[in-house]
Amino acid sequence: MTISKRTAPSDLGEITLFTITNDKGASVELSTLGAGIVAVNVPDKEGKIENVALAYANPADYIADGPCLGKVPGRYANRIAKGDLVVDGVKHQLAINNGPNALHGGPTGFMNRIWEAEEIENGVRFTYRSADGEENYPGNLTAVAEYSWNDDNELALLFKATTDKATVINLTNHAYFNLDGADSGTVLNHSMVMKASKWLPTDDTLIPTGEIADVKGTPMDFLEEKTIGRDIKADFPALKYGKGYDNCWVNDGWEPGRLLEDIVVLKAPVSGRVLKVSSSQPAVQVYTGNWLAGSPLNKSGRSYEDYEGVAIEMQGMPDAPHHANFPTQELRPGEEYIREIRFGFSAE
């Protein structure tokens, strides 16, 4: 395993990019900007190594991009209704940056910060210290995103966080994948299967209603393998609200601290590449890149179009602070937030 690094200028300061290459020549590239994934170079069924994570040509173009490409959003990934956060009876008004709601921790969030970085065995540890009151969240919070890469082409991501005051936290990674190649076009022909028999219906602003509903008999059913595009245009409220899939599923069998294997399996028809995502998170938001058009230029010299990547975001449930029946995302002094995500790449 080798780790190399390079730097790139940006308006926020110097960005450092780390490339971790395993003994088989497969590699990942990580950025201090938003603790982001900017490349995952893995072989197809013929052995051809190619990047399968959507990426911009310029490392600085990840700043304040609409898709939040590859980065770690926070302090609270996904949505909080009307930015209305109450912790221990105290109201904190969050920025409204997604319709009437708060999204991904605010306009800056964790995704548009330069994180501290240090090399570790087979990986990189990123650290961000969020001050009490930053984006109106309570508590001085230290967040760690620790990536490691192995010879089996598995990228492991371990999140840790501590706080000095009661707060909320929900961390994930927002990489978009196209297993036929990052600049190859649509992912609607990819097939997907999920170990998730329940999902969270939402209102038309994508805020959960509080109901935990069965997927059976709906376009949200991925219990059996099907293409992403098969039902995406169905006459179904959730798909109309988001112009495609932008929804949260409940991971079957979840309990605190338990790593669930192969919750989502994504397959590409042309390259034969397979992605298996495992996690200790209670839920997964699947977003089919419904609003990618107009993004910064990729390495092919063009913007991505809608549906050219799919984000598989293992996370806590959106708007959990408003729903007592959802797993809590509160973090208190003396506690440690620990969550794990694993992305395993192969070909068949």
Catalytic site positions: 174, 313
Q: What are the b/e assignments for 165-196, b being 16+ CB within 10 Å?
A: bebbbbbbbbbbbbbbbbbbebbbebbbbbbb
DSSP element (H, E) containing 241: helix 237-242
| Secondary structure, 3-state, 202-218 | ECCCCCECCCCEECCCC
Q: What is the DSSP letter of 242?
A: H
Could you please report the per-residue DSSP string of 178-197? Answer: -TT-TTS---TT-EEEES-S
User: Are 179 and 273 in contact, with CB atoms under 8 Å apart?
Assistant: yes
| Residue partners of 28: CB distance under 8 A and separation at least 6 | 19, 20, 37, 39, 40, 41, 147, 149, 155
Closest among 250, 63, 71 to 171, alpha carbons compared: 71
User: Are 313 and 285 in contact, with CB atoms under 8 Å apart?
Assistant: yes
Structure tokens given for 165: 């005051």
Could you please report the per-residue DSSP string of 249-275? Answer: EEPTT--TTPPEEEEEEEE-TTT-EEE
3-class DSSP state for residue 325?
coil
How far apart (Å, rounded) are the C-alpha atoms in residues 271 and 240?
Answer: 30
- How many CB atoms are closer than 10 A to CB 231? 16
3-class DSSP state for residue 328?
coil
